[in-house]
Chain A
Amino acid sequence: MIRFILARLVKAAVILLAIMIFNFLLIHAAPGDPAAVMAGEAGATDEKFIADLRARFGLDQPFAVQLWTYVKATVQLDLGYSYRQSMPVIDLIWQRLPATILLTMTAFVIALVLGVIAGVLAASKQGTWWDTVISTLALLFYATPLFWVALMASLLFSVVLGWLPGYGYQTIGANYTGIDRVLDIGKHLILPATTLGLFFMAVYMRMTRASMLEMSRLDFVKTARAKGLSNGVIQRRHVLRNALLPVITLAGLQAGQIVGGAVLTETVFAWPGIGRLLFEAINQRDYSVLLGVFFVSAAMVLLFNLITDILYVLVDPRIRLG
């Protein structure tokens, strides 16, 4: 097991390195000389000034040296400096990361738990109106654009009904501490996390339903019935456990999309996370922040994948011991 996790970590590190290099190539592929752009923004077109800038930022060094410098800095979590926000990029990210992790993890759990429950329900009532209603609802959430659902939810629950706060991470100026602060953040979390979660729920619901129905037809379910087990035990212990395997695989693949979906949700709900940071950085052409966010979100996707891989191994002995 530890070996397996180590092997996966090594693989993740290699992928991360590849992403770094790809990121670096991306800067190089961008049109224009960064030094010239910087000089232009500073209002100077003097050749010597540009050459000075080049030397200062190491842009006169050979490609390999530049790459090495970049990788070394990134590994040390030195992601550069944002001149727009007058802060090191890593500090900006550290400020925003907890909010995003809280949002995506909550949404992930909501999607997975609701999706599996809905899938089990739909499968056990296959062909009845339950099945139809659940499947239709799930499809509806999936087919509706995320930002629209976010806007409507905000409008209904925050503006019209006034039940929940419609934007932000906490009540500004309230300065809650302890349990009050947790409750306050929790209240702010409900709308964005549910909106994001419901969108992804549909996929898990469909997968669970299909997988449950497929497993029900297999021989070992017949064996379980032949033992005289009750239907509830058969569904829980034999069908569901096996049916969850493909759902977990899918969850790992979907993790990246959840991080992507967070950009939209965070923007609509003014959630101060990485997604909004990315949105702002794009608007302001703040390349160093952009690259930093790319790197960190790639790392997050890898982390999600690692978690689902470990989950899979815990559930499936064939991989653990095979």
Chain B
Amino acid sequence: MSLLEIENLAIALPAGADRPFAVENVTFSLHKGEILCIVGESGSGKSMSANAVMGLLPEGVTPAEGRIMFHGRDILHLSEENRRDIRGKSISMIFQEPLSALNPLMRVGAQICEVFEAHNLLTPQERMRRAVELLTEVGLPEPEKAVRAYPFQLSGGQRQRVMIAMALALEPEILIADEPTTALDVTTQAQILSLIEDLRRKHEMAVIFITHDFGVVADIADRVIVMQTGEIVEQGPAEDVLLRPTHPYTRSLIAAIPGMKERPPEAEGKAGSQESPVILSVNGLNKTFSTGGGLFKQARVVHAVNDLTFDLHLGETIGIVGESGSGKSTAGRCIIRLIDPDCGTVRLSDVELTKLSGQSLRMARSKAQMIFQDPFSSLNPRARIGRILTEGPIAHGVPRVQAMERARELLSLVGLDPSAVDRFPHEFSGGQRQRIGIARALALDPDVIIADEAVSALDVSIQAQVLDLLADLKARLNLSMLFVTHDLRVAAQICDRIMVMRRGEVVEMGPTAQVLGQPNHEYTRSLLAAIPGRHHEQAMRLAVASE
């Protein structure tokens, strides 16, 4: 007997959207105690389906057709009051971004108590006692103290635990988790996944788990639904979908997952051999941030980068890998002097960057360019692509006509049509914008490119394309690159050497195959162990390859 039946669901988008329906012909059921993963890329309609179940569709978006049956009632046609009764009590939900999902001005205990209050249950004292019990159950340290904490005082993982505690408060029959681990570090993600798994077993709860990550699917799913542009293209038991995918889209998604596979031998040795000359030499680089200090208050000091020393050779790519707060981005920004380091030296093609200022710094800096994480905010929305690509060269004295000519060349180099120079950033998709970002970095003919989480914001299939492009450019132009990422799988694809950072310090550095294959440091091992779906990966790949 299924707990929830969705039949023929269609959700209409407001007029003027890119398509008439967010989802169409969606039919699936959810059984008691199972984890159902809905997988898809952005815009696939996976979150919309879940929001429809919760009755939390955004304004202007309405269910147009179909039924959602829960306990014999079609919940799509219940009154708002009846729906409110179900929300939080029978079906509850957790979200992607645990910081913004909690009210910043309320103590977390009070926010948990609200769930009981909303359904008129328990006295205020009992609510608070339950809140402490719930926080204990989801494994928050010092729950008595934690109930009095504000969200900003907790880490990302702790906040997500609070969200889970809140969702579990009334022992719902269904938990909807909308990308609950996407914003978390890989080790934290592993903890949250096992927490959800445990709670599901203990409370016999059914879970709808929405994700874009097949690794996560492999780790927790009982059944899988794959969605593409609003329609279900494949569904079935996890084993079947992962190992014997029938739909080409599923197959392409699985194939696009960056793997920890060995790099092709021709990539090794040819470019980026350590015999080639050193292009960037970093020595004893330090950066300390102090925050919150004031007239009457002790400053809080964070050693973001601690004694960083390495050489980057011509044509080589070094991956700087670490979790949030490890100092990897700060390191990249210090090298290019977007942030001034406290001490240490950075030599870029025999120019000492740390001592320069004004005109000479601007000249030298053109030799090191950055690619940023967010393809949306890193391009000026009011500038045409032509201006974005020529601004740098023109500032460095290249005549306008020549710079424009070069811009067109660069666009075809990154796989876009040269006519894009006349268009604005909003006319492009995320992947295309990231290509523009790459073209912009190349426009100044840099010696070194620093890519800061350059593919992290992209869907997995787009990510694969951009990684391919970077690898291709690297080989063709003999680029030297620092590749900052939190994702070891991505680093494995493109880096010659990997540097693992934790709390500002390099814990391990070496050739990619060695760091990922025979890690020396405990921390590297824990990072590798936390990657979701590793044990399935080989099987998945073999299955897809054998077709």
Contact = CB atoms under 8 A, between A and B. Distances in A.
Given A227-B88, A228-B87, A228-B88, A321 B101 contact: no
B104 to A, nearest CB: 6
B73 to A, nearest CB: 16
A321 B153 CA distance: 9
B87 A226 contact: yes
A3 B118 contact: no
A228 B119 contact: yes
Contacts of A229: 84, 88, 114, 117-118
Given A226-B88, A242-B103, A242-B105, A10 B295 contact: yes
A220 B150 contact: no
Interface in A209-255: 218-220, 222-230, 233, 237-238, 241-242
B84 A218 contact: no
A227 B118 contact: yes
Contacts, number: 88
Interface stretch (B90-98, B130-138, B367-375): B90-98
A316 interface: yes
A227 B101 contact: no
Nearest to A215: B103
B429 interface: no
A97 to B, nearest CB: 30
Interface residues of A, number: 27
B72 to A, nearest CB: 20
A223 B92 CA distance: 9
B424 interface: no
B249 interface: no
A218 B58 CA distance: 11
A316 B153 CA distance: 13
Q: Which of A228, A230, A322 has most B Cβ within 10 Å?
A: A228
Contacts of A225: 56, 87
A322 B84 contact: no
Interface residues of B, number: 36
A317 interface: yes
B150 A318 contact: yes
Interface in B98-120: 100-107, 114-115, 117-119
Contacts of A237: 103, 106, 114
A218 B100 contact: yes
B525 to A, nearest CB: 34
Interface string A289-322: 0000000000000000000000000011110011
Contacts of A220: 100-104
Nearest to A221: B103
Q: Which of A227, A316, A322 has most B Cβ within 10 Å?
A: A227
Contact of B150 (A227, A230, A321): A321
B292 interface: yes
B99 to A, nearest CB: 9
Interface string B72-88: 00000000000011111
B287 interface: no
Nearest to A230: B84
Nearest to A222: B56
Contacts of A37: none
B296 A3 contact: yes
B152 A318 contact: yes
B97 A219 contact: yes
6 contacts: A220-B103, A224-B103, A227-B87, A227-B88, A233-B118, A237-B114
Interface of A: 3, 6-7, 10, 218-220, 222-230, 233, 237-238, 241-242, 315-318, 321-322
